[in-house]
Amino acid sequence: MYTGEHGSYSGNGYVYQFRGSLSEMKNDLNQLYQFEWINEKTRAIIIQLTLYNSNTKLFTSVTFLSEFLSSTAIISTARFEPLNFYLFSSLLQLVLMIIYMGFTLYFMYIEIRLLIKLKQKYFSQFWSLIQLSIIGCSWASVAIYIWRFKESIRIRKLFSEKNVYINFQLIVYINDILTYLFGFCSFFGLIKFVHLSRINHRSYLFLRTLAYAKRRFILFTMIFSLIYLSFICLFYLLFVSKIFSCSTLLHTMQMLFKIILMKFDTIELFEADAVLGPIVLTLFIFTVVFMCLNMFVAIINDSFRQAKDEKLDDDHMISYMFDRFLCWTRKVDSDMKMK
């Protein structure tokens, strides 16, 4: 199955493999034209080819897609996906992987102890869920990494044979999943790093600001989502047949987000409708950009003022380290007395 910009296409269809020299491929194209391989029932043509660079030992999967729309238009897109089938490209990567998995096992041990101690209360804590997400994404990445390595072994065996086309579509999907998992690991890891840096005065102030604004953020998100969704429906129904940016609900949502960032060309909107275009654009800017964003800034400002009014110790880091040292020395003394 392959997904394009205007639809998804299953694996059912006609397949033709080009072989031989360039002149032979041209003859094959003439035969396909004579047999009316492309007709009025054709909805998409997918051209796949595989490249290999012996200098960098890098494979590249190339996919060209031509979509035949009901409006007789033909939309073409291309995707280039470089792939490295080696398990570890350097010794440093292997060492970092071992260190990362060591930290993962250590955090798993800590979280298991907390789970046994807190039981059901463990899942009601936000930072516990973040830690579970890091552990889950890490082990899922390891499983997908092994799956990709096994798939690469299968492809290498096929690559050693002559006149055999190798389809990289499956391993491209596997590589995409692995990339998504790496992204989630980085995302949750950075959030965890913010939590670990709470001993810093400014980081602690940032966390306290978010804590004070949590409830108001939830209410604001609900109101903003309803307003934003209503404008998505409005722009979609008004300009679905006039602007490509409003051809789908997802494209309409992206267009409105660009308007919030002031990066959208409004000339296209004005040309679609000289009356409704300026009216709905002005209404959207006044309601979302001016009113909603000002409410968001006001919530942040008020929460920051409350967090700043708290009595914070400037030597928060030193006091934290000193408390941890006292706890450690008391634990050592108690162990010595027991012995």
Of 167 and 311, which is predicted with more confidence?
A: 167
Give 60-82 pLDDT, tens digit per residue.
888 888 888 877 778 888 888 88
Share of the chain above pLDDT 70, in %: 87
Output the pLDDT for position 237: 87
Tokens 């006609």 belong to: 14
Task: Please state whether the predicted TM-score (pTM) of the whole model is above 0.75.
Answer: no
Average pLDDT of span 311-322: 55
DSSP string, 51-109: EEETTTTEEEEEEEEEEE-TTS-EEEEEEEEEE---S-SSHHHHHHHHHHHHHHHHHHH
pLDDT in tens, 278-305: 888 888 888 888 888 888 888 888 888 8
How far is C-alpha 268 from the chain's CA centre? Answer: 30
